[in-house]
A and B are shown apart, each in its own frame.
Chain A
Amino acid sequence: MISYAECSARERLALLLDGGSFHEWLPPSERVMSPHLAQLGVPSAFDDGVAVGRAMLDGRSVFVAAQEGAFMGGGVGEVHGAKLVGLMQRALRDRPAAVLLLAESGGVRLHEANAGLIAVSEVMRALLDVRAAGIPVLVLIGGANGCFGGMGIVARCADHIVMSDVGRLAMSGPEVIEASHGVDEFDSRDRALVWRTTGGKHRWLTGDCDALVEDDVAAFRAAAIAAIDVSKPLTLEALEQEHALLTKRLHALDTTDTTDRDEAALLWSALGIADARQVPELSVEAVRALRTA
């Protein structure tokens, strides 16, 4: 068993895809790098923190991108975003069996300001174009930096999300919530709280991810292979169902008195999970069995 969380982006590509099948576009030797970081005195990376290319997965042709969380928290800068967009647009032309996004990102790379924000919005548009063309987009989340900010939105735009229990998925990160709403609202140093509210088990129980796996590269590979043909058509009906689900969740909890209560466990109870307080202690396999629909 090899920890997915502890692998670098390139190690994940080497281990998750069919051996030796990854062909990279704009590899490090092309030196397509950030035009902004050097001006700020910040070192750049030769690949701007993301590797994109084509590969085989269980003998099927796929396109794949892997974000490197150790470089600027996987932040999406102008070049990083353009590489993701280019991959998606090429998918429209070449029609691979699926597009895989090995996401690990804190969202927009704030150093690059508007260029980074625009890049993330372009990634969303490109991803939705790929989905609309009937090519499944699978997002894999299990890196130590989680998947937050704009990349959290990108992930939820996809057909299918695979998460490990150590993976995290959300919009605003814990520190951002604490900075804007205070420590009483969210204590970002409370790791158990962070995982109860953004971690893979929580996302599985609320239906925000489609597969929950162990922190194991082989488990991610198996889940990606199983999902390669899972295409969710973008329809008005599906969107309305999603809205209905979110509305129901919003009203699942009584919000009149929120002091000192474990809101994650209360939400799981409201969703019909028995003995919800025990969820953080359960194994991945046990939590997987808790979701009925």
Chain B
Amino acid sequence: MSDVPAGLETLDFSFSGGRPAGAFAPVLVGVVGSGNLEVMLEPAAGNDCAVRVETSARGFGPIWQAVMNDFHARHPLAGVRVSINDMGATPAVVSLRLDQAVAEIAGGRP
């Protein structure tokens, strides 16, 4: 038996030093299904890119940190709130969804 308790895990990340994304309509990509996730991007006050992940796969915090570090390196955004509902997506799927969401922002560079 795993000693990881059942239930959702909430992870928060924050990145600074990005480019201001400006105003845009909220974007939603993906669906919360097995091995999949939904990513929502919204404009936010301030100069950070704040990320909140709710995931049913507990205990993968360091991997999420690495995936989000890569994302920030690809897309250094500022003034953006990233909200994720995850049902056990793999890192590659998470990265693709994040890129897809950025591509949907007007003026965003995929």
Stretch binding the partner chain, chosen from B15-23, B33-41, B72-80, B92-100:
B33-41
Provided the pairs A8-B31, A43-B85 are in contact, do residues A29 and B56 lie with their beta carbons within 8 angstroms?
no
A25 close to B (CB within 8 Å)? no
| Cβ contacts under 8 Å, A59 to chain B | none
Report the bound CA distance from A46 to B56 in whole Å: 15
Q: Does B87 contact A (CB under 8 A)?
A: yes
A28 B26 Cβ-Cβ under 8 A: yes
| Most chain B beta carbons < 10 A, residue from A28, A29, A41, A43 | A43
Contact A41 B26 (CB under 8 A): no
Q: When A29-B26, A70-B33 are in contact, do A41 and B7 touch as well, CB less than 8 Å?
A: yes
Which of chain A's residues have a CB closer than 8 A to the CB of B38? 28, 45-46
Alpha-carbon gap, A188 to B94, bound state (A): 34
Partner of A71, one of B6, B32, B40, B86: B32
- In the complex, are the beta carbons of B8 and A45 less than 8 A apart? no
Beyond A44-B54, A46-B38, A71-B32, 7 extra complex contacts between A and B, CB < 8 Å: A29-B40, A38-B8, A41-B7, A45-B31, A47-B28, A68-B31, A70-B36
Chain A, interface residues (CB within 8 Å), range: 10 to 19
Check: A232 CB closer than 8 A to any chain B CB: no
**B-side interface residues toward A, CB under 8 Å?**
6-8, 26, 28, 31-33, 36, 38, 40, 42, 54-56, 83, 85-87
The secondary-structure label for the interface of chain A is loop
Q: Is A27 part of the contact surface with B, judged by Cβ < 8 Å?
A: yes
- Can you list 13 A-B contacts (CB < 8 A)? A27-B28, A28-B28, A28-B38, A29-B42, A41-B56, A42-B8, A43-B32, A43-B55, A44-B54, A45-B31, A45-B38, A46-B38, A68-B31
For the complex, give the distance between the alpha carbons of A42 and B8 in Å: 7
Contacts of A36 in B (CB 8 A): none
